[in-house]
Amino acid sequence: MKRRKGPAAPAKGLPAAVVAAAVAGVMAGVMAVWPAALPAAAAGTAGTAGAEPSRLAARSLLLDGRAFGERVVAVGERGHVVVSADGGATWTQGAVPTRFTLTAVSFADERTGWAVGHGGVILRTADGGASWTLRHRSDGEGAPLLDVHALDARRVVAVGAYGAVLVTDDGGATWTDVRADGDDVHLNALLPLRDGRLLLVGEAGTVRVSADGGRRFEDLPSPYEGSLFGAVQAPDGGILVFGLRGHLFRSDDGGTRWRRVETGVTASLTGGAVRADATIVLAGLAGTVLTSRDGGRSVRATVLPDRTAFAGVVETGSGRLLLLGEDGVRRTGGEIAP
Amino acid sequence: MTRFIGRLERLVFDNRPLVLALFALATLGLGYATTLLRVDAGFEKLVPVRHEYMQTYFDHPSFGGANRLLIALEARQGDIFTPAFFTALKAATDEVHFLPGVDRPSVTSLFTPNVRYTEIVEDGFAGGNVVPADFTLTPEGLAVVRDNAIKGGHVGRLVANDFSAALVTAQLMERDPETGERLDYLKVAELLESRIRSLESEAVAVRIIGFAKATGDIAAGARGVVMFFGITLVISAVMVYLFAHSVKLALLPLACSAVAVVWQAGLLAVMGFGIDPMSILVPFLVFAIGVSHGVQMVNAVGAEVFDGKDREEAARTAFRRLMLPGAVALLCDAVGFLAVLLIEIRIIQELAIAASVGVGVVIVTNLILLPVLLSYTPLPRGYSDRIHRAAAFKEPMWRFMAVAADRRVAAVLLAGAVVLAGWGVMEGRNLTIGDTDAGVPELRPDSRYNRDTAFIVSAFDLGVDVLTVIVETKPEGCVDPAVMDTVDRLDWRMRNVEGVQTTLSLPRVARTIAAGFNEGNPKWRELPRSASLLVSAVAPVNTGTGLLNADCSVMPVMVFTADHKAETITRVTDAVKAFAAENADAPVRLRLATGNVGVMAATNEAVKSAKTEMLVLVYAVVAGMCLLTFRSLRATVCVCLPLLLVTVLSNAVMSLLGIGLKVSTLPVEALGVGIGVDYGIYIFSRMQGYLREGRPLGDAYLQTLRETGNAVLFTGLTLAVGVATWVFSALKFQADMGLMLGFFFLVSMLSTLLLTPALASWLWPRAAAAPACRVPARA
């Protein structure tokens, strides 16, 4: 069990010291103020109320996105789904029946798509993201689902915290929990490989692969004991997995052997995309952006000066690059500055 | 009334030596009392303490934030990572600890132990102080600090985004928690200059902002008032000399007005009031009003001498003639000023009391002391020749102006006035409430303080304009998902309000911490929905962050705004009220509002709500006094309507000049009416006298102009020029007040001189229609 709920600090005298990099200035000096008595847990209303239409939805925390030509759909905190028809220049907010943070989105075709998030919610759209219906949510605390992949309009795989793997064969009418017995690692990301298999990466160096559309995953050798947050497949077929503290690994043999790629950064890498011109772009925390023109054998690191946290990368049909993260959508001309 | 004044005249003039002795004694005594006056400035005086928002402010002092001290050290060249800079930063941090009133645990800089960094490693967290215990002033040591500051997320907060500056911040306590003693802000401001600004060197610039510093700078600006007093004195002296044609006659009203100022200051000291930057302007006003009434007196005495009376008889006659209108006019002023008391902001109320006392004193000094002194003053030889020449010189002007009493001309004038009033009402609608300039509105935009503010705001991700909504709930409310969800939604709703730059609240931080417990993965940045998970997400946040109180029953939502324009503030407060209404059944109480913008919101609302009430009261008083004096509704209309036009126009002018309605300009509206009515009363009482003699209106007005109009015109110009010099004051509010007072002095004079006869021509049709048997000027 690697879930760190309490202090597991190697440095002494750090009770509950947390990275809250964005707020450290405010909450400098961490000191435990554990409440003496806890009131009975009241359920929040995040699940029952819909996302609030907000002027700044496209500038809130966005975690994942997909593009079809110049049409872009991105999902994020507070049940925000934002849709752009012009490559990210302007955005409208989709109608979403939940305020839980949505962590991932995947489309079977331009109109039919799926989004997953906290509270175990799974949403479906049939109109390209404008409106969504709730197809699943878990009871109780509702551990988050962290990624989703639509194999086609009927077959969908969702993965999440504590080893959760949910599959449907009927377009979301019924969901089957197919998690491995006793598995409690967080499953962070899915990647469909070109050979038809489905790659899965997660906590504690987890790398797995499924040949049957996500019902059964098999372990692949792990390159690293730390968490992996994402994966991309290079144009030459090489597989790249990346995660905690700037770690990036490449495999040329479908995931059997891994080679570490030096990134020169210690910020965690959270998302990536392969561009139409075969360039690979990976993004991460603290303004980190990596680019590679050789299929990920070597990378060039850029740290954007405002050190914003990124979570996803999307390229539009015209080659415009969108970085998704804590400040919403960042639109770049194509090249990452500077 | 006439009998009473006659008796008063005999009482005063039959005992002239005794009267003078009493005045001398009183002046000595009150002069001594002025030495007891203390400059007295405090935050609580500047705000409407009884306003709902201010109650929130005082109920939750630790979340106010208005009393924060920010000191930025700026590296003049390169970045901050040099031994010289860090030596200065260490010294500044130490000095701040020893300032009076500083809440020591709140002191924050790279050097304080509450500034830490943490980072995620494969098996948990690692971290420590940003400046480690083994810190050395070497390039290596400085590189470690730089790394730690970046890791800890202190860039933009304690270190400038471009690494060119670093901050030291601290919270000041207005009252000593042990002794309960009020903090002496001026002392703090002085120490900030002597201990911290003095760290400035070729390598390091020091920039200081915060309420204590602003107070000090405002007080320093107020000291410049002495110079303005001098300028006003000189200008008045020159103008009075030009008017009186005699040094002796010029000196007397000036001296009597100076006596009035001494009495006013002395009386305030005796009453236990201090002087603050705003009421320090009152002496000018009192002096100017004194001069204006003094000139009427000199004018009247001169006219009597002119008619061949000896000087004592002339003084007695002038006394009899002016006592009533003068006293009524001054009482009007005094009571009008008291209407300002309706604004429940202490600094304004003290201004009102000081001004009322001042004009009350003028009744005694310039309506009694001055004529007594004049009765002793031999008029210089050739004086009447000089008067003659001046009168002959001005005669064409009076004849020209007297046309205003002609009904046809009057019709045109009145139509013009109606058009102007219409324009004034339209334009006046754009009048803004509150302040629009960035930084501290009392000081000029280019003052050192406001330049320091601009630097700090641009170098750091800091908002200096913050409105804090206080969320009150049950103890341990921050681990109740329903409470936290409400606060979280309020935070997001506020962030979406136009004009809001960013927001900060406990749920927002809890989201980030929740992700921190999950290796910093942004996908985990969600507000936990169960009590047990909330515990871990809020536990690392201590009360020093200002995001919660000790038992977690109070959580502020800080709303940082792009500016403090009234419309921005209203948008934010309206949004909070709307949210509170929608969430009436949530287990929280939302309270507006603290933070500096919260205070401004309260002040704006107090000013706005007091405005109408205050003006209605002032006009009621003025109209009542006119009715009482003239026993005529028509007379009251003649005096008051021209003033109303000026009030309407003043709003339009303020809107055109971008001067907002605020603590400093609102009292001016009341003062302006009070002063404007003087003109009307002097003019009308004289004109009414002639009308009662059965003279046609045209003649009555011409004669009034020759006698009183002369003094009115002169007074308006003198007062306007005197206060116009304030425009050069270091204090923005003094400049604004000067501009508006000048406007009132000048425009109400013109309005009275032109519109009062014009109105009269239509209200007294018979007198206006009577054949003009123009009396020649008394030549």
Angle at B416 between CA B414 and CA B422, to 5 degrees: 105
Selecting from B484, B495, B523 the residue whose C-beta is nearest the C-beta of A56 gives B495
Whether residues B605 and B680 fall in one domain: yes
Q: Is residue B145 helix, strand or coil?
A: helix
Nearest CA in chain B to A40: B531
Q: A140 pLDDT band (50/70/90 cuts)? A: low
pLDDT digits (tens, 9 = 90+) for B249-291: 889 999 999 999 999 999 999 988 887 767 777 888 888 888 8
Between residues B356 and A44, the one the model is more confident about: B356
| Identity of the residue numbered B653 | V
Kindly give, in sequence order, each residue whose CB lies less than 8 Å from that of residue B603, ignoring residues fewer than 6 positions away. Answer: B46, B47, B48, B51, B345, B434, B662, B663
Looking at residues B630-637, what average pLDDT do you find?
A: 90
Asked, for residue B43, whether it belongs to a domain, the answer is: no
**Residue ending a domain, choose from B197, B220, B243:** B220
| Identity of the residue numbered B485 | D
Whether residues B74 and B192 fall in one domain: yes
Selecting from A8, A43, A103 the residue whose C-beta is nearest the C-beta of B124 gives A8
For chain A, what's the residue count?
Answer: 338
**Residue ending a domain, choose from B543, B563, B587:** B587
Whether residues B628 and B500 fall in one domain: no
Q: Are A202 and A187 in contact (CB under 8 A)?
A: yes
For residues B26 and B256, give the distance between their C-alpha atoms in angstroms, rounded to a whole number.
Answer: 13
Residue A41 has pLDDT above 50, yes or no: no
Token reading at B648? 């309407």
Nearest CA in chain A to B511: A20
Neighbours of B29 (CB within 10 A): 12
Site from A1, A12, A18, A61 to mutate, B interface, most B CB atoms within 10 angstroms: A18
pLDDT digits (tens, 9 = 90+) for B138-159: 999 999 998 888 877 788 889 9
| Identity of the residue numbered A200 | L
Residue A299 has pLDDT above 90, yes or no: yes
Asked, for residue B745, whether it belongs to a domain, the answer is: yes
pLDDT digits (tens, 9 = 90+) for A84-102: 999 999 999 999 999 999 9
Q: Which residues of B touch A76 (CB under 8 A)?
A: none
DSSP state letters, A106-129: EESSSS-EEEEEGGG-EEEESSTT
Whether residues B279 and B161 fall in one domain: no
Between residues B430 and A259, the one the model is more confident about: A259
Kindly give, in sequence order, each residue whose CB lies less than 8 Å from that of residue B584, ignoring residues fewer than 6 positions away. Answer: none
Q: Which residues of B touch A245 (CB under 8 A)?
A: 120-122
CA dist list (Å): B194 to B73, B92, B188, B497: 15, 12, 10, 42
CA dist list (Å): A53 to A79, A98, A134, A338, B457: 10, 12, 18, 35, 31
CB pair distance less than 8 Å for B509 and A118: no
CA dist list (Å): A153 to A170, A192, A210, B596: 9, 15, 19, 55
For residues B6 and B321, give the distance between their C-alpha atoms in angstroms, rounded to a whole number.
Answer: 10
Nearest CA in chain B to A306: B161
Q: Are B651 and B431 in contact (CB under 8 A)?
A: yes
Looking at residues B72-78, what average pLDDT do you find?
A: 93
Asked, for residue B468, whether it belongs to a domain, the answer is: no
| Identity of the residue numbered A160 | G
Q: Which residues of A touch B153 (CB under 8 A)?
A: 20-25
For residues B373 and B257, give the distance between their C-alpha atoms in angstroms, rounded to a whole number.
Answer: 13
Structural domain boundaries, residue B526: 474-587
- Give the count of domains, chain B: 4
Neighbours of B466 (CB within 10 A): 26
Kindly give, in sequence order, each residue whose CB lies less than 8 Å from that of residue B49, ignoring residues fewer than 6 positions away. Answer: B58, B344, B346
pLDDT digits (tens, 9 = 90+) for B105-127: 889 899 988 888 777 777 677 77
For residues B111 and B131, give the distance between their C-alpha atoms in angstroms, rounded to a whole number.
Answer: 6
Q: Are B548 and B555 in contact (CB under 8 A)?
A: yes
Q: Which residues of A touch B116 (CB under 8 A)?
A: 17, 24, 28-30
Whether residues B440 and B482 fall in one domain: no
* Interface contacts (A, B; CB < 8 Å): 244
Burial class (CB in 10 A: 0-12, 13-18, 19+), B2: exposed
pLDDT digits (tens, 9 = 90+) for B474-503: 999 999 999 999 999 999 999 999 999 889
Write down the pLDDT at residue A335.
59
Q: Tell me which residue of B507, B434, B360 sits closest to B666, measured CA to CA.
A: B434
For residues B663 and B654, give the distance between their C-alpha atoms in angstroms, rounded to a whole number.
Answer: 14
A 187-226 residues with CB below 8 A of B? Answer: 188, 203, 225-226
Whether residues B538 and B641 fall in one domain: no
Between residues B95 and B325, the one the model is more confident about: B95
Write down the pLDDT at residue B24.
94
Asked, for residue B339, whether it belongs to a domain, the answer is: yes
Q: Is residue B408 helix, strand or coil?
A: helix
Q: Are A21 and B151 in contact (CB under 8 A)?
A: yes
Write down the pLDDT at residue A141.
66
Whether residues B413 and B297 fall in one domain: no
Q: Are B631 and B324 in contact (CB under 8 A)?
A: no
Neighbours of B76 (CB within 10 A): 12
Helix axes B83-97, B139-151, angle to 10 degrees: 60
For residues A65 and B557, give the distance between their C-alpha atoms in angstroms, rounded to a whole number.
Answer: 30
Q: Are strands A328-332 and B124-129 parallel, antiparallel or unpaired?
A: unpaired
- The reported pTM is 0.82
Query: Percentage of chain B surpassing pLDDT 90?
Result: 36
Asked, for residue B245, whether it belongs to a domain, the answer is: yes
Asked, for residue B459, whether it belongs to a domain, the answer is: no
Write down the pLDDT at residue B709.
85
Whether residues B211 and B69 fall in one domain: yes
Q: For chain A, say whether B520 makes contact (Cβ under 8 Å).
A: yes
Q: Are A328 and A308 in contact (CB under 8 A)?
A: no
Residue entry with tokens 């003049």: B76
Q: From start to end of B562-616, where are the E strands?
A: 589-594
Whether residues B559 and B638 fall in one domain: no
Whether residues B133 and B233 fall in one domain: no
Q: Name the least confident of A267-276, B164-173, B540-549.
A: B540-549
Token reading at B671? 């003062």
Neighbours of B313 (CB within 10 A): 15
Q: Name the least confident of A189-203, A290-304, B561-575.
A: B561-575
Q: Tell me which residue of A223, A301, A284 sits closest to A292, measured CA to CA.
A: A301
Token reading at A191? 């990647």
Token reading at B221? 């600006």
Token reading at A327? 């400040």
Q: Tell me which residue of B482, B528, B575, B489 sits closest to A51, measured CA to CA.
A: B489
- B557 pairs with which residues across the strands? B469
Helix axes B16-34, B247-270, angle to 10 degrees: 50
Phi-psi region of B448 (alpha: psi -120 to 50; beta: other; left: phi over 0): alpha
Residue B707 has pLDDT above 70, yes or no: yes
Asked, for residue B465, whether it belongs to a domain, the answer is: no
For residues B663 and B648, give the distance between their C-alpha atoms in angstroms, rounded to a whole number.
Answer: 19
Looking at residues B663-672, what average pLDDT do you find?
A: 84
For residues B12 and B316, give the distance between their C-alpha atoms in angstroms, rounded to a whole number.
Answer: 9
Asked, for residue B464, whether it belongs to a domain, the answer is: no
Write down the pLDDT at residue A12.
28
A 107-146 residues with CB below 8 A of B? Answer: 118-119, 140-142, 144, 146
CB pair distance less than 8 Å for B125 and A8: yes
CB pair distance less than 8 Å for B493 and A118: no
Whether residues B127 and B262 fall in one domain: no
Q: Are A240 and A271 in contact (CB under 8 A)?
A: no
Instruction: Give the DSSP H or E segment for A288.
Output: strand A288-292
Selecting from B115, B124, B520 the residue whose C-beta is nearest the C-beta of A285 gives B520
Q: Which residues of B touch A270 (CB under 8 A)?
A: 521-523
For residues B365 and B356, give the distance between their C-alpha atoms in angstroms, rounded to a whole number.
Answer: 14
B 467-486 residues with CB below 8 A of A? Answer: 474, 476, 478-482, 484-485
Selecting from A17, A41, A203 the residue whose C-beta is nearest the C-beta of B530 gives A41
Whether residues B613 and B759 fall in one domain: yes
Q: For chain A, say whether B499 makes contact (Cβ under 8 Å).
A: no
Q: From start to end of A207-268, where are the E strands?
A: 207-210, 217-219, 228-233, 239-243, 248-251, 259-260
CB pair distance less than 8 Å for A9 and B126: yes
**Residue ending a domain, choose from B157, B186, B220:** B220
CATH of the domain at B358: 1.20.1640.10
Token reading at B117? 């960094």
Q: Is-cis flag, bond preceding A338, omega within 30?
A: yes
